[in-house]
Amino acid sequence: MKVVGAGETKGAGRARFAAVDVARGAALVAMIVYHLGWDLWFYRLVAVEVPFDPAWRAFARTIAASFLVLVGVSLVLASDAGLDARAFLRRLAKVGGAAALVTAATLVAFPQSFIFFGILHMIALGSVLALPFLRLNPAITLVVAAGVLVAPFLVSSSAFDTRWLAWTGFYETAPDTNDFEPVFPWLAAVLAGVAAGRILLDTPLRARLAALEVRGRLGRGLVWMGRWSLVIYLLHQPILLGALYPVALVVGERARAEQTASACRRTCEDSGRSADFCVRYCDCALGTLETEGLMSALDGDATPDEDARIAEIANSCVARTLRESPAPE
C-alpha cells in the first residue's frame, strides 16, 4: 500500500506533490520577471536589449528548461497508478488550444515575429513524445535525452529554416519569433524530467518529498500558482503590456532614445567597427535623423524616399566619422 505523506495528496488516481506545485509556481514567478523585462524593452523603457542580452537569454532558457523538466516529472506522477487516457487527452487539448491561442494572438500583435512553436507548443508535443518513456529505466531515458540534446548541433540544414520545419530544431537559421523551443534539443528537458520522476517514485526520495509540508503565505501562494499555471501563463502578458502602456506613453521617450542608440552601436560593432567609431557614428546619424524628423521611420514604416534619405545620412556619417577618426599611431 502506498503511503500518502503530508506534502502528497491523492486525486483522480494520481499522486500530487505540493513541492512540485511550488517548483512550478517559482518557475512562473521567474517567467513573469523575464516578461516584465521584455515588456520594458519592447516599450523602450530600458536601454538594455533584453532579447539579445546574454544574461537575460540564459535566464529565459533556464526558465523554459525548468517548465519542461516539470512537465516530465508531472507526467510520471500522473501515471503512477496507470495513465488515465481521458484525463491526459483533456489536458493535452487544453494546452494545445492555449498554444493555438498564443499563435493567433501574436500573429495579430507581432506579425513578423509571431510565436509559431513556443513553450506551450513544446509542452503539448513533448507530452505525447514522452509517453513511451514513462515506465522505462531512467538510465535509458537519460541516454536518449542526451542524444536529443546534441542532435541539432550535429545535424542541420537550410531546408529546415522555414516555419513549417524549423520546429524540429534542425534549422541553420531560425525564423524570427518571440518564443521558440523546438523539439530538438528541448525534448531533452522533458525526458530528463521523466527520468527524475521515475527515480522519485522508485526510490526513498518519494517519501522524503512527500513529507515536505508547504507553510506560510509564500508557499501556499506558489502552490496556488503552480496549480493554475496555464491560466496565469495566458493572462500575465496582456496584463503586463496593458499596465505598462500608459507608462510608456508618459516616460518612454528618453529610454527609447537610449535604446535606439544602444541598438545602433551594437549593429555598428557587429560590422567590425571599433567602439569609439560606433559611438561617434551613431551620434552623427541619430542626431541628423532626429533633426530631420526621421526617427519614427526606423521602426519599419519608412517610405521609399525616407529609406533613401536614411541611407544617405548613414553613408554621410560614415564618411564624416572616418575623416574625424584619429590617425593610427
Whether residue 29 is found in the same domain as residue 135: yes
In a domain, 52, yes or no: yes
Whether residue 100 is found in the same domain as residue 172: yes
Please tell me the distance from the alpha carbon of residue 49 to that of residue 291, in angstroms, as a whole number: 25
Whether residue 219 is found in the same domain as residue 291: no
Instruction: Tell me the pTM.
Output: 0.75
In a domain, 144, yes or no: yes
In a domain, 253, yes or no: no
Whether residue 179 is found in the same domain as residue 91: yes
Whether residue 282 is found in the same domain as residue 230: no
Whether residue 32 is found in the same domain as residue 72: yes
Whether residue 285 is found in the same domain as residue 233: no
Please tell me the distance from the alpha carbon of residue 181 to that of residue 104, in angstroms, as a whole number: 17
The residue to which cell 536614411 is assigned? 310
Number of domains present in the structure of the chain = 2
Cβ-in-10-Å burial (0-12, 13-18, 19+) of 262 comes to middle
In a domain, 122, yes or no: yes
Residue 204 has a pLDDT of 79
CB atoms closer than 10 angstroms to residue 111: 8
Helices (H), the chain: 18-42, 54-78, 85-109, 119-129, 138-154, 163-166, 183-202, 205-211, 216-227, 229-270, 275-291, 304-324
3 state SS of 177 = coil
3 state SS of 64 = helix
Whether residue 277 is found in the same domain as residue 231: no
In a domain, 157, yes or no: yes
Whether residue 15 is found in the same domain as residue 105: yes
Whether residue 191 is found in the same domain as residue 306: no
How do the pLDDT tens digits run along the chain, 329 residues long?
A: 233 334 444 444 455 688 899 999 999 999 999 999 999 988 878 878 899 899 999 999 999 999 999 999 999 998 887 889 999 999 999 999 999 999 999 999 889 899 999 999 999 999 999 999 999 999 999 999 999 999 999 999 999 999 999 999 999 999 999 999 999 999 999 999 999 999 988 887 777 777 777 888 999 999 999 999 999 999 999 999 999 998 887 776 666 777 788 888 888 888 888 889 999 999 998 888 888 887 777 766 678 888 888 889 999 999 998 888 765 44
Whether residue 117 is found in the same domain as residue 184: yes
Owning domain of residue 132: 8-243
In a domain, 260, yes or no: no
Residue 239 has a pLDDT of 95
In a domain, 267, yes or no: no
Whether residue 296 is found in the same domain as residue 164: no
